[in-house]
Amino acid sequence: MSITTVVLAGVGGQGTILAGDVLAKVAVAEGHDVKLSEVHGMAQRGGSVETFVRFGERVFSPVVDPGVADHLIAFEETEAARTLTYLRPGGTLVVNRRTMASLPVLIGDLPAPTGLEEALFAEGAIFLDAEALACEAGSPRSANIVLMGAASYGLPFAVESWERVISGRVPLKTVDGNLRAFHLGRNACAEGACAL
Amino acid sequence: MARTLMSGNEALARGAWEAGAVVGVGYPGTPSTEVLENLVNYDGVRCEWAPNEKVAAEVAGGVSLGGARTVVTMKHVGLNVAADALYSQSYTGVTGGLVYVVADDPGMHSSQNEQDTRNHGVGARIPVLEPSDSQEALEFIRSAFDLSERFDVPVIVRMTTRVSHGKGLVETGERHEVPVKPYQRDVPKNVMMPGNARLRLRHVNAREGDLAAYGAVAPENRAEYRDNALGVITSGIAYQYVREALPDASILKLGLTVPLPDALILEFSSKVERVVVVEEMDPYLSLRVRALGVQIDDVDLPRSGELSPRIIAAAFGQEPLATRAPVEGLPPRPPLLCPGCPHRGLFYSLGKVRAVVTGDIGCYTLGSLPPLKGMDSCVCMGASVGMAHGVALAGSTERPVVAVIGDSTFAHSGITGLLHMAYAGSHGTVVILDNRTTAMTGHQGNPVNGVFINGEAAPEVDLEALSYALGVASVRTVDPHQLDATLAVLREETVAEHLSVVISKAPCALLVKEAKDPFAVDEELCTKCGACIRLGCPAISRDETGRAVIDTATCVGCGQCVQVCRFDAIVGVGPSCDLGGGR
Ligand SMILES: Cc1ncc(C[n+]2csc(CCOP(=O)(O)OP(=O)(O)O)c2C)c(N)n1
């Protein structure tokens, strides 16, 4: 009974919900049982957000505990560090090289965290700059799809399935840009360019 | 048959449609909101957002009286508001099937309290069904309609956050058209005055027994026998966690949890060596199972919050998984008011009035966090108004007392409070934060913004005329982005010896379509005074030297910070070139 568990972590508004939906639909298209869990509501107003996607022959729990995730795809570095405990030893860690200060930091109540990249690197993180690649794809708001491209490199799904799901899920006008974004993210990992 | 990936809420909408519901009505509330938002897309169902849950429950009661099937949706606390309707609908019973979808929020992801709706099922003496995934959500709501008509009773489908917002594969069916019953006047059944109600209570008493007997054969309740060394009694999402954590355990999976099927519980308990109850939130199952005389083996599970597979595994003595060391010292990331949020401007100005501020529930509750710290209380929807009056009555403070309440919340339950303030001769001030939408729950239409659930235009209440009609002496409308003008009005109205309403009117930043150019800080002019930082805008921070910096990718150009800067250091920069990057 082998189940693959992916955690997407980021900041409300970064597009984790759409990314998780795409990933779950690809897993369905590839014939897996799938469960997804995320929380809507308050957290979407700029708070920490996480989406769990699990697939395999039969999945029961939609919720993920520390030490269970095989892949952690972090949309922001502080959130990568915050959710790192989900990732099992040996799991893959993909981190968007972006930091967004939270309110206590913005207003000077708390210091900004330091040394995050080093700490994440020591945990085996592979980094990429999803916003830059999204701009390169001509679709600045598709950083979430860039990250799905990066994640896709380590997941057992056909590129065509990803392309089909993405094309059906994003606004019509942005399909080409999102597909370019997906491939830029995927190639970055394939070429090792997303390593530090 | 192909299976589709659906959230529990999407599956409920599908199931209600398949069951032949012709009306869906509710009030938004996380995690229940998406049920109606999906149901509105099906043909043959009329959907409406009501101003509050009680009205929704009454509309649904009327649909049922009129002979048609209907679903009414709300979050757990919404059922407190609707409970008055529900507890007597339990007596009248139904004509067309009447199903309540009530979504609980264990762990309080987006709620002000944790509340177990099964207790309302017990109190109202009506059945409660608890799906554990999306497929069951669809099946259970279909059964709920059948049970409702068969046993002449409203039925609750109780969801929790993980079932509502979790997605899984669902096999859908076809719509089953149920003919609307011709209207029939039935006074003894439907007019609840003591003589009739006493007779109907006999129906309630008898029905409870019938339902309990039905529980023994209900397909929603099932015993799964595996190893008989351990038998777990569970319901809802906890079932999924138990399956993952204890794959060999025998399980009594209860889907119809009010009333409980005593005979099934006793039979299951007699066939396993050790009985353990695993449930989220209140010890509802365990109390009942114990009352039946079953010896339960207590394991160490949390009394509140959410369960998970590993929490259950640990309670059963399994070794913890190997994990990575957590990174210490990370700053928390609470949700915050968006860049350009009109609520920010209002709270910034209100802060200068030094009032006692009784607050309410919505995005604007986030204005209670530092640095704005704009609120002294937040309890339940509408509470700000009555509490403002009460604080003044206590007489312990000379400071002005101001209630702040959102437009949807005002329509929900602020109007009656304001009526009371007028009636009682209050000199308080009520600020209505009219951001033209119900923002917190995802921008639903409401009677104030004049948008219907299907996106069509609806009549828009005139808040000024309404306030005057209730007896308010002075009603002023301000643009909260204009900080000085807003402050001037707040100063006047909070000291005036009369009841006043200030309508703070500007659309939610997420509804503003035309992009304004962002602002930036002129490094030469910035004196590092920190005034702009005190707005708590996510686009503004300090650099290493303490100077303010504006993230041009985040800034939406609302201009509030320009007004608070006394050194003219915040200036327009033209369109953002750093598209989407923003570091
Ligand atoms: C009785 C009850 N019903 C529903 C909710 C869920 N809820 C919380 S805030 C909110 C909407 C607030 O809208 P509004 O007052 O317009 O403020 P905004 O979020 O737009 O600032 C809702 C529906 C609740 N907390 N309590």
Residue B408 in contact with ligand 1 by CB distance below 6 A: yes
Average pLDDT over residues B133-158: 98
pLDDT (tens digit, 9 = 90+) per residue, B510-549? 999 888 999 999 999 999 999 999 999 999 999 989 999 9
> Which runs of consecutive H residues, i.e. helices, occur in A137-174?
143-152, 159-169
DSSP state of B411: I
Q: Whose CA is nearest to atom 7 of ligand 1?
A: B29
Residue A67: CATH number of its domain: 3.40.920.10
B330 Cβ neighbours under 8 A, 6+ residues apart: A78, A81, A82, A113
> What pLDDT is attached to residue A45?
81
Contacts of B366 in chain A (CB under 8 A): 45
A84 shares contact with chain B (CB less than 8 Å) = yes
HEC string for B13-61: HHHHHHCCCCEEEECCCCCCCHHHHHHCCCCCCEEEECCCHHHHHHHHH
Distance A34 CA to ligand 1 centre (A): 32
N-to-C CA span, chain A: 35
pTM higher than 0.90, yes or no? Answer: yes
B100 Cβ neighbours under 8 A, 6+ residues apart: B57, B60, B71, B72, B73, B74, B79, B82, B86, B154, B155, B156, B157
Name A38's bridge partners.
A51
Helix (H, G, I), strand (E, B) or coil at B76: helix
DSSP state of B414: I
pLDDT (tens digit, 9 = 90+) per residue, A88-118? 999 999 999 999 999 999 999 999 999 999 9
Q: Whose CA is nearest to atom 6 of ligand 1?
A: B29
Lookup: tokens for A114: 């330091």
B369 shares contact with chain A (CB less than 8 Å) = yes
Class (C level, CATH) for B342-511 = alpha beta
Quickly tell me which residue has 């299907």 as its tokens: B454
What is the maximal distance between C-alpha atoms in chain A?
49
Inside any domain, residue A67: yes
pLDDT-based confidence at residue B577 (cuts at 50, 70, 90): very low
| Most informative mutation of B408, B435, B510 for ligand 1 (most atoms within 8 A of CB) | B408
Chain B nearest-CA residue for A100: B583
Distance B194 CA to ligand 1 centre (A): 36
* Average pLDDT across chain B, whole number: 96
CB < 8 Å from B in window 126-165 of A: 131-132, 134-135, 140-141, 143
Given a contact cutoff of 8 angstroms between Cβ atoms, the answer to whether B426 and B392 are in contact is yes
Given a contact cutoff of 8 angstroms between Cβ atoms, the answer to whether B221 and B215 are in contact is yes
- The four Cα atoms B295, B301, B303, B309 give a dihedral, to 10 degrees, of -120
- How far is residue B187's CA from residue B464's CA, in Å, rounded to a whole number? 41
Class (C level, CATH) for B519-579 = alpha beta
Helix (H) or strand (E) holding A176: helix A175-190
Q: Hey, are the CB atoms on A135 and B581 less than 8 Å from each other?
A: yes
Given a contact cutoff of 8 angstroms between Cβ atoms, the answer to whether B16 and B39 are in contact is yes
- Is-same-fold flag (B222-315; B342-511)? yes
Quickly tell me which residue has 């002023």 as its tokens: B476
Chain A nearest-CA residue for B554: A100
pLDDT-based confidence at residue A192 (cuts at 50, 70, 90): low
Given a contact cutoff of 8 angstroms between Cβ atoms, the answer to whether B530 and B521 are in contact is no
CA atoms in the 13 A half-sphere facing the CB of B19: 31
Residue B365 in contact with ligand 1 by CB distance below 6 A: no
Closest by CA position to B233, among listed B301, B154, B165: B301
C-alpha Rg value of chain A to the nearest Å: 16
Residue B286 in contact with ligand 1 by CB distance below 6 A: no
| Statement: residue B582 has pLDDT above 50 | no
pLDDT (tens digit, 9 = 90+) per residue, B356-389? 999 999 999 999 999 999 999 999 999 999 999 9
Phi, psi (5° rounding) for residue B552?
-70, -20
Q: Hey, are the CB atoms on A104 and B370 less than 8 Å from each other?
A: yes
pLDDT (tens digit, 9 = 90+) per residue, B324-356? 999 999 999 999 999 999 999 999 999 999 999
Inside any domain, residue A11: yes
| Statement: residue A44 has pLDDT above 90 | no
pLDDT-based confidence at residue B97 (cuts at 50, 70, 90): very high
Name A48's bridge partners.
A11
> What pLDDT is attached to residue B580?
38
- How far is residue B417's CA from residue B414's CA, in Å, rounded to a whole number? 5
pLDDT (tens digit, 9 = 90+) per residue, A138-155? 988 899 999 999 999 999
Question: Alpha carbon of B377 to those of B315, B343, B406: distances in Å?
Answer: 37, 16, 14
Closest by CA position to B250, among listed B265, B271, B221: B271
pLDDT (tens digit, 9 = 90+) per residue, B201-213? 999 999 999 999 9
Domain coordinates of chain B in residue numbers? 2-215, 222-315, 342-511, 519-579
Contacts of B440 in chain A (CB under 8 A): 41-42, 45
Which of A30, A45, A82 would best serve as a mutation to test chain B binding (most B beta carbons within 10 A)?
A: A45
> What pLDDT is attached to residue B579?
40
What is the maximal distance between C-alpha atoms in chain B?
82
Inside any domain, residue A28: yes
Closest by CA position to A59, among listed A18, A20, A2, A8: A2
> What's the number of domains chain A is made of?
1
Inside any domain, residue A195: no
For residue A28, how many other CB atoms are within 10 A of its CB? 22
Given a contact cutoff of 8 angstroms between Cβ atoms, the answer to whether B264 and B219 are in contact is no
Q: Whose CA is nearest to atom 1 of ligand 1?
A: B78
Output helix, strand, coil percentages for chain A, rounded to the nearest 5: 45, 20, 35
Q: Which atom of ligand 1 is nearest to the CA of B361?
A: 9
Lookup: tokens for B530: 């920190």
More confidently predicted of B577 and B435: B435
Nearest to B581 among A102, A116, A132 (CB): A132
> What pLDDT is attached to residue B578?
45
What's the count of helices (H) and strands (E) in chain A, helices before strands?
Answer: 8, 6
> What pLDDT is attached to residue A140?
80
pLDDT-based confidence at residue A191 (cuts at 50, 70, 90): confident
- The CATH label, of 3.40.50.300, 3.40.50.1110, 3.40.50.970, 3.40.50.10420, for the domain at B2-215 is 3.40.50.970
Helix (H, G, I), strand (E, B) or coil at B131: coil
Closest by CA position to B87, among listed B61, B64, B113: B61
CB < 8 Å from B in window 22-51 of A: 24-25, 28, 33-48
Q: Hey, are the CB atoms on B322 and A48 less than 8 Å from each other?
A: no
Name B158's bridge partners.
B102
Closest by CA position to B337, among listed A13, A57, A173: A13
pLDDT-based confidence at residue A54 (cuts at 50, 70, 90): very high
Q: Hey, are the CB atoms on A131 and B581 less than 8 Å from each other?
A: yes
More confidently predicted of B90 and A193: B90
N-to-C CA span, chain B: 48
A124 shares contact with chain B (CB less than 8 Å) = no
Residue B434 in contact with ligand 1 by CB distance below 6 A: no
The parent domain of residue A22 ranges over 3-190
| Statement: residue A196 has pLDDT above 70 | no
Class (C level, CATH) for B222-315 = alpha beta
pLDDT (tens digit, 9 = 90+) per residue, B494-514? 999 999 999 999 999 999 988
> What pLDDT is attached to residue A194?
58
Q: Hey, are the CB atoms on B166 and A62 less than 8 Å from each other?
A: yes
Average pLDDT over residues B169-189: 97
